[in-house]
Amino acid sequence: MSFGSTMFKNLKDKIATQVNKTNQTILSSILQTDPASISKDSGARTSSTTSHNDNFDHNRSRLNSAASDISQTASANNNYVSPARSFVPPSDIESEHGGDESDHETNSKMQRLVNIYKTKFIQLKNAYDEVERERDNIKNILQQHQDTSIKRQTKLREQIKIDRQAKEELERSYKQEISLRDNKIQELTQQVRTTNDHVQVDREEMRNLREKNTKLETLLTQCKEAIKNHQEKHLKVVTERDDLFEKLNEKQTLIESMMKDRQPEESSIQVKENFDCDTSVLLKDKERLQEELEATRLCVRQLETDLESIKQQSVTFNSNDEIKQKHEDLLAEFNEKSSHLEQIINDKLTLEISNKELQDLIKNCQETIDKDKQQIDILKDTLSKENEQHTKSLDALKTEYENLTNELQQTKQAKDSIQSLLSDALQERTIDKDLEIQQNQNTVDDINEAKASFSQKLDCQRQEHLDEMATLKSQQQIEFDNNLKELREEKDYLEIKIEQLESQHKKTIEALENELTAAAKRAQDKITDLTKQTDEQKNKSNRHEQELNEKSSQLIELEKQLETLKSQANLSQKELVDECNSLKEQYQHISESNTQKNEQLTELEEKLRIATQQLQDEILHRKNIEKQLEIISLNNSMDEFKTTITEHEQLQQTIDNSQSNDRQLLEQKDKMIDTLKQDYELQIEKLHEEHKRTVEDLHEQLLNLNSEINEKNETFSAMEAKLNSTLSEKTSLKNELDQIRIQMETIQSNSNEFNVKFQQTGQQIKDLETDCDSYRNEIETLKTEIISLVNINEENIRRIDQYENEKFDFEQDISEKDRQITERDEKIQEIELTLKQTKERATKLREALQRTKGSIKNNEQPNAVDSDNQIQVISQEYEQRLKENEMEYNTKLKIMAKEMSSKIEENEYNYNQKIHDLIQKKAKVENDLTNSAERRINDAERRAYISEEQISKLQEQIKEKQLDYYRHIQDLQIEIHKLTKQIIPTIEQFSQTSIEDLYSNDIQHPFVIEPTEVDYLKQIVLAYMTGTDRLTMAKVICAVLRYNESEKSLIIEEEKLRQSRWLNSTR
């Protein structure tokens, strides 16, 4: 009994010590609970299991940190204190004696322990329920965020689609507008080419007309001088005729009185003698003399017979004085003719001088063309240099683009490597979680500190960079605005100048038209007067009418010249306007290229930002060593970008220099335009003055001609009366009258033709006025088109600004998306941390459960089998749930990573496409610039070639005109001969009478002075007039005019032929 009692006591002590140990170790980590919670065990258990199953089936998505709950339970359990043990085990006897009491106490103790375990389990269950509730809340929040993010993504995709559609529509509209503008530009270029061709043709005509005008002016001056000389001579001859007629009448009266006083015998004897001598003279001179001179010879013979009978010295002396006066008059006429010949020679010399001056003008024109060619070569050189600069800038931009693409590829490779590292890290974390947790906790603090410092540095650098870029953008915008203002001011100034020039041009045209209309009216009035007077004119009126026809043709040519000058002025103005517009377009292209370069700078800045963000993301995932290396690489890249920025600044400086050069060229062209305008104005003023002078001269000439015609008509009427008195000249006069009638008919036909031509010229003037109106309408339409193009350009600028704003908004959206992606990455990292914490807490719970299990197994194997089974089931359920949650989190993390990678790839693809599109657009713009420059060069070369051809044509025309002048001089000489022939029959009577008087005086007075050289010349002239000897006079004329031997031989042969024809006709 003693042995059994001792064993029993020992067992009791062991159980008490084990119970105390378990209470101190386990209950120290469990909360004290109220005894009232024990009664709620059954209901709470059922409700918790149902709610757990429902929540577990409904939301099986994500876990979150339950650190707060577990920490609260741990702090509450630490406050629990095990109760003091009041029961003392009795001895063996007492135990035997009081066995019932010991069993009761043990039962109560076990019930207390059960209650304690129940309270612990309830607390664990409540904590687990709270954790699941938090999980459900987190799942709901995540689902809401996912829904909102999905909705946002769909909205953004829809917006992107809408933006793409809008961009496509805008691109289509731009392409259509560009095509329309290209068509308009082609049409305008064709119009410009046609106008240039017309201008060149008009310039040729102007040059030809100017040359003709100069030649005609010289001819007019010569003709005026000749007409004046002829008028003076004619007046002298008329006065001489009147004097001679008076003297003849006096002599006839004297003869009649003498015949009455004389005896019939003496008179009959003398008459017979005189008749015999007259018959002998007539037989000799029958072939040479004409029928018109018979009456005059009879009168002269009667005078000779009267003079023989009269012996008074007074009468003889008077007759000798009259003969001497006649000789002197003839000598004066001869001198006048010689002076007229000398004037013709001087005119010839003036024509030669004018030809030399024309040749000098041609040389000057060639020199100006050479200078223009040199300017074209200079422009070609400048264009080639600009093209080289553009190619260099393109190469630099291409190299920058290649560098950026390489950097993007490197970033992609880095992203791929990061993703592979993340996958490997996830696998390694799943395998080596317990080992890395402690190391990561130490390193995370260091990384966070380094991250904070590095983020501060990056923020400072970003702010500095942003400030610098903002200042640069503001400066560029200010410069661009200033340039736009300057261009607009220049445009307004040019428009004002063009309007002033147009107003001046219109005024000059109106003045010229008024002058032309006045001149035309005057010409019509004069022509009507002349047509009335043509019936009274004969031989000389035909010539004067021809001269008038020539002058009218000169007037028409002058009108044409003025019209051509008008068209040339209009075309020159159009050319100047086109050149100004082309220069403006060049400046706009340069400004657009500047804007494109600024956009490229902004794109590079955005690339810098993206690269810095990517590098920050890489830095967060790598270790300290890799971070330091990346920082060094980033600094290098920043230096490279700074170098690129400096290069861009240099490019901007080059662009500014090119703009300044363009401005200088514009100023030079403005100066050239001003000089050309001044030259044209001076030329127009000169033409106005010349036209006024010619009109005044023509008016004076017409007045002189009218006065001359009136005088000639008077003399002609007197001559007709005298000719009618002479019956012997009727036969010859009838023939002459028939010829005159024929000539008058020809004159009338010519006058009718002249009237028809005048009407045609009036119609041509009207047609030209209609053409001028059409050109004015075309100018107005071109102005309206220019205004519409300016408005279209302003609309395009406004649209470009809208596109830039849309682009800026799109870039902001991209930056927001990137920010959201970074926030999601941070959330994923937080979720991973919560997973780690939950896993750590799960391991702690497992250890606590295992300890409780061990304690329960050791202490309460027979009594707590049900509780062990329940705890095992619960622990298995917890483990399964934890595993399932881990699997779900892993799958969701992988899905998120895949989605993020796909989104990043899509963004990169879109970014690359946009860059490619921008490069293509830039290449197109540059190709367009090069093509336009080449076209302009070709046009300039073509113009130079056309100008050379025009010069060659002008030289040929000048040669032809020289031949025409030579022929015209010959015609004038022929007309001079004809005039001398017309004067001869009027002088023959007086000359023959004077010769017979001399002959009779020589017979009666042998003491007369011997013949001198003057007498010899007079005899030659008389022989030429009478037709006895024409060769000597022809030889004298050739010697005076200094003809060549060939010309002399031709003139002598013609004179011989005339003599032979005359002899044949007389026979």
What's the token pair of residue 409? 């590829």
1 membership: H or E segment, kind and range: none
**What pLDDT is recorded for position 337?**
63
488 has a pLDDT exceeding 80: no
For the segment 923-933, the average pLDDT, to the nearest whole number, is 70
**62 Rama sector, left if φ>0, alpha if ψ -120 to 50, beta otherwise:** beta
For residue 203, count other CB atoms closer than 10 A to its CB: 19
Q: pLDDT (tens digit, 9 = 90+) per residue, 705-720?
A: 777 777 766 776 666 6
Burial class (CB in 10 A: 0-12, 13-18, 19+), 537: buried
Length of the chain: 1067
For the residues of 10-65, what is the DSSP string, one character each? HHHHHHHHHHHHHHHHHGGGS----GGGGTTHHHHHHHHHHHHHHHHHH--S----
**What pLDDT is recorded for position 280?**
63
498 has a pLDDT exceeding 60: yes
Report the distance separating Cα 1050 and Cα 1044, nearest Å. 10
Burial class (CB in 10 A: 0-12, 13-18, 19+), 286: exposed
CB 323 within 8 A of CB 998: yes
Q: pLDDT (tens digit, 9 = 90+) per residue, 595-641?
A: 776 676 677 667 767 766 666 666 666 656 666 666 676 667 667 76
89 has a pLDDT exceeding 50: no
**What pLDDT is recorded for position 669?**
66
180 has a pLDDT exceeding 70: yes
Q: pLDDT (tens digit, 9 = 90+) per residue, 781-821?
A: 777 777 777 777 777 777 777 767 777 776 777 777 777 77
Report the distance separating Cα 91 and Cα 73, nearest Å. 41
3-class DSSP state for residue 707? Answer: helix
**What pLDDT is recorded for position 277?**
66
Report the distance separating Cα 787 and Cα 228, nearest Å. 61
**What pLDDT is recorded for position 861?**
56
For the whole model, what pTM was predicted?
A: 0.20
Better-scored residue on pLDDT, 415 or 100 = 415
Better-scored residue on pLDDT, 149 or 599 = 149
DSSP 1059: H
Domain boundaries of the chain, sorted by first residue: 2-167, 423-554+565-685+739-828
156 has a pLDDT exceeding 80: yes
Q: pLDDT (tens digit, 9 = 90+) per residue, 367-382?
A: 776 776 677 777 767 7
Q: pLDDT (tens digit, 9 = 90+) per residue, 835-848?
A: 777 677 767 777 77
DSSP 544: H
Q: What is the largest CA-CA distance in the chain?
A: 244
**What pLDDT is recorded for position 534?**
58
Residue 717 to residues 235, 711, 723, Cα–Cα distance (Å): 15, 10, 10
Which pLDDT band holds residue 1050 (cuts at 50, 70, 90)?
A: confident
Report the distance separating Cα 493 and Cα 484, nearest Å. 14
For the segment 957-976, the average pLDDT, to the nearest whole number, is 69
Which pLDDT band holds residue 78 (cuts at 50, 70, 90)?
A: very low
Report the distance separating Cα 814 and Cα 156, nearest Å. 10
Which pLDDT band holds residue 982 (cuts at 50, 70, 90)?
A: low
Which pLDDT band holds residue 77 (cuts at 50, 70, 90)?
A: very low
**What pLDDT is recorded for position 433?**
60
For the segment 652-661, the average pLDDT, to the nearest whole number, is 70
DSSP 888: H
Phi, psi of 818 (to 5 degrees): -60, -40
Crossing angle of helices 433-533 and 313-431, in 10° steps, is 170
Amino acid at 476: Q
Highest-scoring range by mean pLDDT, 565-569, 809-813, 1005-1009, 1013-1017: 809-813
For the residues of 778-806, what is the DSSP string, one character each? HHHHHHHHHHHHHHHHHHHHHHHHHHHHH
Report the distance separating Cα 953 and Cα 362, nearest Å. 11
Pick from 261, 438, 226: which is nearest to 337 by CA?
A: 226
Pick from 900, 908, 910, 893: which is nearest to 821 by CA?
A: 900
Report the distance separating Cα 530 and Cα 537, nearest Å. 10
CB 729 within 8 A of CB 292: yes
For the segment 657-676, the average pLDDT, to the nearest whole number, is 71
CB 297 within 8 A of CB 278: yes
262 membership: H or E segment, kind and range: none
Report the distance separating Cα 120 and Cα 138, nearest Å. 27
3-class DSSP state for residue 121? Answer: helix
**What pLDDT is recorded for position 605?**
66
Residue 754 to residues 267, 545, 857, 934, Cα–Cα distance (Å): 62, 10, 149, 53
Report the distance separating Cα 148 and Cα 156, nearest Å. 12
b/e code 933-962 from CB counts within 10 Å (16+ = b) = beebeeebeeeeebbeebbeebeeebeebe
755 has a pLDDT exceeding 70: no
Burial class (CB in 10 A: 0-12, 13-18, 19+), 22: buried
**What pLDDT is recorded for position 278?**
59
Pick from 995, 975, 973, 993: which is nearest to 983 by CA?
A: 975
**What pLDDT is recorded for position 620?**
65
For the segment 499-509, the average pLDDT, to the nearest whole number, is 70
For residue 902, count other CB atoms closer than 10 A to its CB: 10
CB within 8 A of 1040, min separation 6: which ones? Answer: 338, 341
Report the distance separating Cα 540 and Cα 371, nearest Å. 53
Crossing angle of helices 730-859 and 99-261, in 10° steps, is 170
**88 Rama sector, left if φ>0, alpha if ψ -120 to 50, beta otherwise:** beta
DSSP 34: -
CB within 8 A of 302, min separation 6: which ones? Answer: 255
**What pLDDT is recorded for position 316?**
47
Report the distance separating Cα 279 and Cα 275, nearest Å. 6
1037 has a pLDDT exceeding 70: yes
Residue 720 to residues 499, 600, 714, 729, Cα–Cα distance (Å): 67, 103, 10, 11
DSSP 862: T
125 has a pLDDT exceeding 80: yes
**What pLDDT is recorded for position 94?**
40
Pick from 622, 867, 684, 809: which is nearest to 115 by CA?
A: 867
Report the distance separating Cα 160 and Cα 171, nearest Å. 16
**What pLDDT is recorded for position 971?**
74
For the segment 587-593, the average pLDDT, to the nearest whole number, is 70
SS (H, E, C) 65-78: CCHHHHHHHHHHHH
Report the distance separating Cα 202 and Cα 168, nearest Å. 50
The share of the chain scoring above pLDDT 90, in percent, equals 0
Radius of gyration of the chain (CA): 65
**What pLDDT is recorded for position 396?**
73
Q: What is the end-to-end Cα distance of the chain in Å, rounded?
A: 214
Least reliable range by pLDDT among 66-70, 402-406, 542-546: 66-70
The share of the chain scoring above pLDDT 70, in percent, equals 43
Pick from 757, 671, 676, 695: which is nearest to 562 by CA?
A: 695
Q: Tokens 């990056």 map to which residue?
A: 458
What's the token pair of residue 846? 């497992």
CB 522 within 8 A of CB 699: yes
3-class DSSP state for residue 245? Answer: helix
3-class DSSP state for residue 348? Answer: helix
b/e code 810-822 from CB counts within 10 Å (16+ = b) = eeeebeeebeebe
Least reliable range by pLDDT among 99-108, 503-512, 617-626, 799-808: 617-626
- Classify the C-alpha dihedral 1029-1035-1041-1046 as positive or negative: positive
Q: Tokens 């009427």 map to which residue?
A: 717
**What pLDDT is recorded for position 88?**
45
For the residues of 481-523, what is the DSSP string, one character each? HHHHHHHHHHHHHHHHHHHHHHHHHHHHHHHHHHHHHHHHHHH
What does the CA dihedral 88, 91, 97, 102 come to, rounded to 10 degrees? 30
Which pLDDT band holds residue 549 (cuts at 50, 70, 90)?
A: low
CB 566 within 8 A of CB 509: yes
Long-range contacts of 656-663 (CB under 8 A, 24+ apart): 658/386, 658/389, 658/590, 659/483, 659/587, 659/590, 661/382, 662/583, 662/586, 662/587, 662/590
Q: pLDDT (tens digit, 9 = 90+) per residue, 286-314?
A: 566 556 556 665 666 666 676 666 655 54
580 has a pLDDT exceeding 50: yes
Q: pLDDT (tens digit, 9 = 90+) per residue, 741-752?
A: 676 677 667 666
Amino acid at 731: T
Report the distance separating Cα 391 and Cα 395, nearest Å. 6
42 has a pLDDT exceeding 50: no
1001 has a pLDDT exceeding 60: no
